Structure 1
C-alpha cells in the first residue's frame, strides 16, 4: 500500500471514529470533556486536535476560545475562520488586524513560519503594507490603499501596499508583511475589494498533529488530548494514559469489539472511496505526463537534450548554489558534465492540478529559436513529476538590477541593450518558423552576458501562433502588472497581437531612462511625477530631460531617442505602435527623423484621485524584486 493510500486510510479511520457516539457513563472528567464536539459561530463539530480552551480537556498548541462568535487561537493571536481536520489545514487571520489594519503601537514583519506546528499553506500570497509614507512615495506606486493611519510622532500618515518582493520603500516609517488568500490577492489588485477586506479573508495554514496515534487511542475507547508538553494523551473513562486505554472487563471489551467491527466496515468503505479518489488523481498525473511527452516528441530532433533528474542533481551538486527564485521555481548554478560549461538550471514547481503549460511553452519556444539575443536552452528534464530546464549561464544577471541598483551602466550600454532586445523580439515576431509572442517582456527577463549583451529569457507565458493571424485568441490576462498592454486587460482597446509585446518593450525602455531621472521638485500634483507624462511634456516643449549622469550632448540625444521610441511603443491604440522592425530602424536612425508621438494615456488599475487620464506609473526610486532579480541564466 503506497504512502498516500496509507494516509487516506488513516484519515478515513479518524473520520469514522470521530462520528461514533460516545457512551455517557461516569468516569474520568477529562474523558467526558473530550468526548463530544463543540461549535462556535460558523465553525461546527470541532474536535481533536482542537479543543475548547475553557475546558480541561487539554490540547496545548491548538487550544481555542470562542470570542464574538468566532474561534481564536489563544497562543498565537490568530482568529480562526475555518478548519479542515482531514487535510490538516485551517484558515486564519491576524486578530490584531481584524477590526483595524492601522498599527497602534507599531509592528514588525512577521516570520514566514509562525510556529513549528503552524506554517503557511502552498500558494499563499503575501503583501507588504507600508505605513507613515510621504506623499512622494504614495505618488510612485501604481496602487494605493486609500487609507490613512495616525502614527504618533509621524507627520505623514499615508498607507500603501506592494507585492512581497518589494522589501523596502524609502519614505515610509513602518511596514508589515501580511499573508492573504490567492483569490483575495487577485481581487485586491483588480480593485474588487479593499486592502482591509483582503486581509480579513485571512490565509490558509497547515498544522501538524499525530493523527495516527490519535486513531489508536480512539480505537481503544479513549479520547485524544494533550498534556502540558503538547504530547498526545489518551483520556479514558478510568483515567489518562500516554497512548491507548487499557483492556478491562469482558463487557467493555465486547462493546468495543462491536464498535470496532462496525467501524472497520465503515473504514473499509471509506478507504475504497479514498482509494478511488487517489487513483483518479494519479490517472490525471499520468495523463498530464503523457501529454507532455507527446508535445516533446513532436519536435523530434529539434528538441533540446533530455536529462534524467539524477543527472540534474549531479550537474548542480545537489542544488548547492542557488542563483535566485522565480515565479515558477528556483534557479541553480551548475556545469555540463561533458565540457564543464557553466549553466543555470531552473527547477519548475509542479502544482496540484497544473497542466504543465509553462514547461511546454519554454521547451516549445526554445525549440523554434536560435538567435544571439535569445537565451539558449541547452536541455530539459521530464522525469515523472520532476521538471527542469537547463540554460546557458548569464553571468551579469538581469537588466533590472542595473536600472536602480548601485551598479550603473553607461547610456551607450543602455542603448545597446535596448537595440539588442528589439532585435531579439523582431526575430521572435517575424523570423521564426512559428511566430512567438512573449507576453512578459520586462527588465527582470532580460539577461546580460559577460559583455552586457542582452538576451530574452523566461518563455513560460509565451504563445506560439501562425504568422497569418493578425490577432490571437487568449483566455485570461498574461504578464506582469505595469508592463501589460491595455488590450490584454480588456479587448475593447483592440485585439491581442505582437503589438502587445511592443507595449511591454516600450514600458521597459521608459523604465531604463526613467530610472536615471532626478526627483522632480516642480510637479504640481502627483500625476505629473509619472515619468512618461513628465518626459512627454518636456519633449513637447523641446526641453532637456535633466537626467542623471548625462555628461554630453550625445548622451542627451540617446536618452531623448529612447524616450521618444518608448512613448511610440506604449500608445493605447495597438495600430499606432510601431512593429519591432520599425523600432530597430528608429533606434539606428537619427533623432531628427523621429516625430513626437500622440499623447499616450490610460487609467491606472484602480483609478486616480487626481486625474482620470493618469499614465501607468513608473517607479522613480529603487524598487527591488525578490532574490530572483539576480538570477543569471
Structure 2
C-alpha cells in the first residue's frame, strides 16, 4: 500500500471519529447566526464562515460579515454582493450590488459553477446591451447610465426587437443580460434548488452535512439546535474537528497535485488568469452547454483544422456563427489566448469578428461570425479557378480588401498586430465575396515605438513565411513579414497554383520565379485573360506581389504603400528586380537595380525574448 493511500485512510478514520464525537454536540455548533440585528438569519444551507463548522452549511453557500457588519456573499469570478434578504421556504435570496450597477454585475457574472440561478422574474426575458457613440440617441431603448462612459452611451434593447436597423458603424453589441437587471437596478434576486431542508424543518429538525459522507454531500436531519447554549469543551471539539477537516483537505489536495498532469494544469491556470483580467466589454463568454446548444450538439461540421474542428451554429434564428472547438491535446492554450486577446481589439470590415468564446474547464471554443462562401483557398483551387469563378475585377477587390485589413492590423489598432499566417486558407469570404482575415492563433502584439519584434520560434506556414522569420541574416522580424506573406498570396491568386515549400518538382518549387518569367513574357500566361482590362489587373497584382516578396524586409513596401499601389494605375508601377535570379537558373533579372548577395546555406540564428 502506498504512503499516500495510508495517509488518506488515516485522515478518513480521524474524520469519522471526530464526526461521531460531534454528533451529540450539534446543538451548539450550528446555531442560527447573523451579522447584525437587522441582517438576515443565517442557517443551513448557508454558513457564516469563521463562526460555524463546515458541516453547518452547503458548499457554495458561505457568507461573511464585513467590518461594518453587513452580510457578504461571494459569487464566482470574485463578485461580491451584500445580502438583503433570505427566504428559506421559497429558497430565494435578494442581494445588493455594492457598486449600485446591477447590469454591470450581471454582465460580468458567470453562474455556471454556482448553486444559484437568477430568479424567474429576472431571467424570463432578455435585453441586448449596445455601446454607442454619444451622437446616437435611441428614444425607444433604455439607457444604462452606470455603464455609459464619456463619449459613449450604453443602451438596452429588448432582444426580440429587430436589430437590422441598428447603425453598426456607431454601435457595438456588448452582450445579452436578463431583463430584470435592467428594470431593477438596485436589487438582484437568486434562487437555489439544492439542497432543500423544507421537510426536515417541518418536522422540527435542522439540517447539516453528514460528516461521515461529506464528499458525497449527504444531508442529515437532527434535532434543532438550542439557542444561547454552549461550553468551552464543545468549542474545543469543534475546533479540533475543523482543524482535522482542513488538514484532510490539504493532504488530499497534495495527493491529487502529485498525480495530476502538471503541464495541463499550468495551461489551464494561464488561461483562467487571462480570462480574469479580460474586461466585460470584450467578446461574450459562453459555457460548454451554451456551445452545444448553439451548434445543435455539433450536427453541422464545416471543416477540420490543425487545432480543432469547426461547426456551424446559430445564436438566434437570424444570426449564424462558426464555432471552432479547440483540441486541447494539440494546443497549450497560447493559441486560444492569442485569438481572444487579439480579435477582441479588432473592429474592421476586412477582419472576421469574434462573437464569443468558451473556456469551461479544459473545453475551449471560439465563436466567429459565419461567412457563407468559405475560404479564398477553395475559390482559387476550385474546378474553374479564381478567374472564371469570380472574374479579375472581383479578384482585384478581394486583394485590395485583404491589403486594407492587414494595414488596419499594422496601423489602425491601439497596439500594432502582426498576423504571421497570411494565406488563402485564412481569408474568408462573406455573402458578397468581401474578404475577411481570420485565424489569429499565430498573431503577436507589438509596440508602436519598436521597429521590430523578438520571437523564440518561427511562426506561420512554410511557403508563406518571410525569410527573416526563420533566419535573421535577412533582417529583423517586423510588419514587413506580413507583407511577404501577402505577396505570396497575391501570386497564388494570379497563378492559380498552390505555394508548396515541400514541392519536389522544379515547376512548383520555383513557382514565384515562373510568375516573374510570365510577367516578362518568357513563359505562358499564368491565368486566362480575355481582354486588355483583365490583363492590366493581372499585371498590377503580379507586380505588387513581386514587390512584396523581396528577400530583404527593407526592399518591401509597407502595407500603406501596397494599398496605394492596388488603388492606383498599373502604368505607374515598375517591375521589381527578380529575387530568384540567384536560386533558379531559368529566371532572369532586370540587372538595372543592384541586389544584396544571397547565400543559400545561411544558418538559422536563434533569438530570445
1:485 matched to 2:439? The reply is: no
Distance 1:277 1:429, change over 3 A: same
1:350 to 328, 331, 336: 328
Distance 1:313 1:551, change over 3 A: same
Distance 1:288 1:527, change over 3 A: closer
1:398 matched to 2:379? The reply is: no
Distance 1:513 1:441, change over 3 A: same
Shift of 1:405: 1.0
1:375 matched to 2:355? The reply is: no
Give the whole-Å Cα distance in 2 for the aligned partners of 1:592 and 1:609.
27
1:314 matched to 2:309? The reply is: no
C-alpha contact (below 8 Å) 1:346/1:388 kept by paired residues: yes
2:238 corresponds to: none
C-alpha contact (below 8 Å) 1:319/1:332 kept by paired residues: yes
Give the whole-Å Cα distance in 1 for the aligned partners of 2:445 and 2:545.
25
C-alpha contact (below 8 Å) 1:601/1:613 kept by paired residues: no
1:301-450 alignment to 2 at 5 Å? Answer: 301-337=280-316, 340-351=318-329, 355-407=332-384, 408-450=389-431
Give the whole-Å Cα distance in 2 for the aligned partners of 1:415 and 1:573.
26
1:550 corresponds to: 529
1:530 matched to 2:507? The reply is: no
C-alpha contact (below 8 Å) 2:491/2:515 kept by paired residues: no
C-alpha contact (below 8 Å) 1:306/1:379 kept by paired residues: yes
- SS of 1:302's equivalent in the other structure is coil
- SS of 2:580's equivalent in the other structure is coil
Give the whole-Å Cα distance in 2 for the aligned partners of 1:384 and 1:602.
53
C-alpha contact (below 8 Å) 2:581/2:587 kept by paired residues: no
C-alpha contact (below 8 Å) 2:458/2:470 kept by paired residues: yes
CA offsets per residue over residues 256-277 of structure 1, 9 Å max, x none? xxxxxxxxxxxxxxxx999958
CA offsets per residue over residues 10-52 of structure 1, 9 Å max, x none? xxxxxxxxxxxxxxxxxxxxxxxxxxxxxxxxxxxxxxxxxxx
1:278-293 alignment to 2 at 5 Å? Answer: 279=258, 281-282=260-261, 284-293=263-272
- SS of 2:324's equivalent in the other structure is strand
Distance 1:290 1:278, change over 3 A: closer
2:542 to 563, 566, 571: 563
Give the whole-Å Cα distance in 1 for the aligned partners of 2:440 and 2:467.
20
Give the whole-Å Cα distance in 2 for the aligned partners of 1:500 and 1:303.
28
2:273 corresponds to: 294
C-alpha contact (below 8 Å) 2:514/2:523 kept by paired residues: no
2:558 to 567, 570, 579: 579
Distance 1:333 1:608, change over 3 A: farther
C-alpha contact (below 8 Å) 2:307/2:326 kept by paired residues: yes
Shift of 1:489: 1.1
Shift of 1:295: 1.8
Give the whole-Å Cα distance in 2 for the aligned partners of 1:489 and 1:564.
25
1:496 to 470, 473, 477: 477
Give the whole-Å Cα distance in 2 for the aligned partners of 1:610 and 1:552.
27
Shift of 1:485: 0.5
Distance 1:561 1:356, change over 3 A: same
Structure 2 unmatched runs, 5+ = 6-250, 499-504, 589-596, 601-609
Shift of 1:536: 2.0
CA offsets per residue over residues 371-429 of structure 1, 9 Å max, x none? 00000000000100000000000100000111121252211111111100000000000
Structure number with higher relative contact order (C-alpha < 8 Å, ≥ 6 residues apart):
1
Give the whole-Å Cα distance in 1 for the aligned partners of 2:265 and 2:357.
19
Aligned pairs, how many? 335
- SS of 1:391's equivalent in the other structure is strand
1:515 matched to 2:496? The reply is: yes
CA offsets per residue over residues 191-210 of structure 1, 9 Å max, x none? xxxxxxxxxxxxxxxxxxxx
Distance 1:284 1:476, change over 3 A: closer
- SS of 2:390's equivalent in the other structure is coil
Distance 1:380 1:528, change over 3 A: closer
Shift of 1:467: 1.5
1:233-248 alignment to 2 at 5 Å? Answer: none
- SS of 2:410's equivalent in the other structure is helix
Distance 1:456 1:540, change over 3 A: same
- SS of 2:366's equivalent in the other structure is strand
Shift of 1:571: 0.2
- SS of 2:338's equivalent in the other structure is helix
Structure 1 unmatched runs, 5+ = 7-271, 518-524, 616-633
Shift of 1:613: 8.3
Distance 1:274 1:432, change over 3 A: closer
Give the whole-Å Cα distance in 2 for the aligned partners of 1:414 and 1:347.
31
C-alpha contact (below 8 Å) 2:517/2:587 kept by paired residues: no
Give the whole-Å Cα distance in 2 for the aligned partners of 1:443 and 1:477.
20
Shift of 1:516: 7.1
Give the whole-Å Cα distance in 2 for the aligned partners of 1:501 and 1:306.
30
Distance 1:382 1:513, change over 3 A: same
Give the whole-Å Cα distance in 2 for the aligned partners of 1:371 and 1:325.
26
- SS of 1:461's equivalent in the other structure is coil
- SS of 1:510's equivalent in the other structure is helix
